[in-house]
Amino acid sequence: MVVVCALAPPARALDNGLALTPAMGWLHWERFMCNINCDTDPHNCISENLYMQMADMMVKDGWKDAGYEYVCIDDCWPATSRDEQGRLQADPKRFPGGMKKLADYVHSKGLKLGIYADVGTKTCAGYPGSLGYYEVDAKTFADWGVDLLKFDGCYMPKWTLLAEGYINMSRALNSTGRSIFYSCEWPLYEWQYTQPNYTAIRQYCNHWRNYADVYDSWTSVKAILDWTANNQDLIVPAAGPGGWNDPDMLILGNFGLSLDQQVTQMALWAIMAAPLFMSNDLRDIDPKSKALLQNRYVIAINQDPLGKQGRRTAEVKNFEVWERLLSGGKLALAVINRQEIGGPRRFPLTLAMLPSWKFCNPQCNVTQILPSYQDMGTQKLTNMTEVPINPTGTVLLVVTPSAADHKLRKKWFHHKGKVDAIL
Ligand SMILES: *[C@@H]1O[C@H](CO)[C@@H](O)[C@H](O)[C@H]1NC(C)=O
Ligand SMILES: *[C@@H]1O[C@H](CO)[C@@H](O)[C@H](O)[C@H]1NC(C)=O
Ligand SMILES: *[C@@H]1O[C@H](CO)[C@@H](O)[C@H](O)[C@H]1NC(C)=O
Ligand SMILES: *[C@@H]1O[C@H](CO)[C@@H](O)[C@H](O)[C@H]1NC(C)=O
Ligand SMILES: *[C@@H]1O[C@H](CO)[C@@H](O)[C@H](O)[C@H]1NC(C)=O
């Protein structure tokens, strides 16, 4: 009985057939922001060329094969005013072919196109907002063949209208008859005033931003991890097939993160069952960043069909342990070295350091996924194997309990009652 309760699926998700696992793709914001200077910076400005080139790269360089699917436009794509019929229109100079043609191009590559709009009177960068135009805009996006909408939360006249606006747009998208992935920032904007209702958010959105925008820095990635851990009792139960917490874009391949920090972002985004939207320049990316972003073992953890978001389960000696229950009775385990001085520190795989190590009774198979793939063989409960972890780096492991252990684990679940409190 207790087990059934603890393993019950999360509340009802948005029923548009999408986001059964976290979405994967590319989104322009963190890297390209609101660069509209196509005269002086044609290679990097927000224009149809940028998305066409990214779509080309996604096919050519293995991104699509790795699972990355959505090519997403963020703010600053529209003209500064609506057309005579009140419809949003793309900036005519930067998108001379128009959005329909861009969507056709992206679809011809076997990829999907994402677009951006705002629940309020203006977008965050000051372009026309959708308030009062939800049906018109949803229909426009559907007519163009858009596959995903990122709906921002700036310029809502009253914060109490946020929920209503996000719900109305969700319904407007549904009534177009086209399955359009709905990416919300509803809780992020509500948090300034009240605790968001995650049952409702899950019912209307495919994923949702909770916390500040990611920047190209370790400080930013750390802040996102800390916020997530500090709020995990509230937000983790809301995640599951159909709807996910969105800790914002992957910034691997840019300027601000060391290789160890890139390992940490990749590993933890997998543990958090986070949408994997890269914001980087796929035309010019470091091979090590590329290898991390395309690591099939990490992606498999992120996309695990059980769909349970992981949690931070221990903080010990300036290490952090995060654990995620996977299908097939496996466990993904990330240990971050949060000490930002000195060299690699050794983390022992023992009961004293790892809440989940009791599953390895009498033994389990351990595979290290990051920073490099390594079969660590069969480990016993009493074995004192240590893994070295660089400052700000992470070791990501997959642990498979032996068959006998499976029964023990079940018993332990019964005993503890609340699986979600542990995993
Ligand atoms: C609209 O919502 C209904 C009911 O939840 C669902 O069955 C249908 O598939 C949705 N349609 C689209 C296009 O999302
Ligand atoms: C949402 O839709 C309802 C019903 O049509 C309407 O009364 C309300 O004003 C709308 N709210 C917003 C913020 O669009
Ligand atoms: C949260 O939303 C759900 C679903 O819309 C609703 O049933 C519930 O009453 C809401 N909870 C609160 C505290 O408003
Ligand atoms: C502990 O693990 C190491 C490999 O990591 C292995 O060589 C050793 O045999 C194990 N010891 C026991 C007691 O299982
Ligand atoms: C553990 O690894 C051994 C040796 O590779 C293998 O024979 C065994 O089937 C594995 N057990 C599980 C539960 O995966």
User: Counting atoms of ligand 5 from 1, which one is nearest the CA of 402?
Assistant: 13
pLDDT reported for residue 6: 44
Ligand 4 centre to CA of 384 (Å) is 8
Question: Residue 385: CB within 6 Å of ligand 3?
Answer: no
Question: Residue 223: CB within 6 Å of ligand 4?
Answer: no
Indicate which ligand has the atom closest to the C-alpha of 178.
1
pLDDT reported for residue 9: 58
| Contact call for residues 76 and 125 (beta carbons, < 8 A) | yes
26-55: per-residue pLDDT in tens? 999 999 999 999 999 999 999 999 999 999
For the chain, domain boundaries: 13-302, 311-422
| Contact residues for 127 (Cβ-Cβ < 8 A; gap 6+) | 75, 76, 77, 78, 80, 118
Ligand 3 centre to CA of 199 (Å) is 6
User: Counting atoms of ligand 2 from 1, which one is nearest the CA of 131?
Assistant: 14
Question: Residue 194: CB within 6 Å of ligand 3?
Answer: no
60-104: per-residue pLDDT in tens? 999 999 999 999 999 999 999 999 999 999 999 999 999 999 999
- Identify the three-state secondary structure at position 19: coil
Q: For 196, list phi and psi in degrees, rounded to 5.
A: -65, 155
- How much is the pTM? 0.94
* Cβ burial 353-390 (10 Å sphere, 16+ → b, else e): bbebbebbbebbbbbbbbbeeeebeebebebeeebebb
| Contact call for residues 117 and 124 (beta carbons, < 8 A) | no
| Contact residues for 358 (Cβ-Cβ < 8 A; gap 6+) | 351, 381, 412
Q: What is the amino acid identity at position 418? A: K
CATH number of 311-422: 2.60.40.1180
Please tell me the class of the 13-302 domain.
Answer: alpha beta
Closest Cα to atom 9, ligand 2: which residue?
164
Pairing of strands 331-337, 311-316: unpaired
Closest Cα to atom 3, ligand 3: which residue?
200
Closest Cα to atom 4, ligand 5: which residue?
377
Ligand 1 pocket list (CB less than 6 A)? 15-16, 174, 177-179
Pairing of strands 311-316, 276-278: unpaired
By annotation, the residues acting in catalysis are: 152, 213
Number of neighbours of residue 193 by Cβ within 10 angstroms: 10
Half-sphere exposure at residue 31, Cβ-oriented, CA atoms within 13 angstroms:
27
pLDDT reported for residue 309: 98
| Contact residues for 82 (Cβ-Cβ < 8 A; gap 6+) | 88, 89, 128, 133
Q: What is the pLDDT along the chain (423 residues), one digit of tens a residue?
A: 233 344 455 689 999 999 999 999 999 999 999 999 999 999 999 999 999 999 999 999 999 999 999 999 999 999 999 999 999 999 999 999 999 999 999 999 999 999 999 999 999 999 999 999 999 999 999 999 999 999 999 999 999 999 999 999 999 999 999 999 999 999 999 999 999 999 999 999 999 999 999 999 999 999 999 999 999 999 999 999 999 999 999 999 999 999 999 999 999 999 999 999 999 999 999 999 999 999 999 999 999 999 999 999 999 999 999 999 999 999 999 999 999 999 999 999 999 999 889 888 889 999 999 999 999 999 999 888 999 999 999 999 999 988 655 565 555 544 443 443 333
pLDDT reported for residue 42: 98
Distance CA 350, CA 279 (A): 37
Ligand 3 centre to CA of 414 (Å) is 30
Which residue from 364, 365, 380, 399 has its CB within 8 A of the most atoms of ligand 5, so it is best to mutate?
A: 365
Indicate which ligand has the atom closest to the C-alpha of 400.
5
| Contact call for residues 267 and 298 (beta carbons, < 8 A) | yes
Question: Residue 367: CB within 6 Å of ligand 5?
Answer: no
pLDDT reported for residue 414: 42
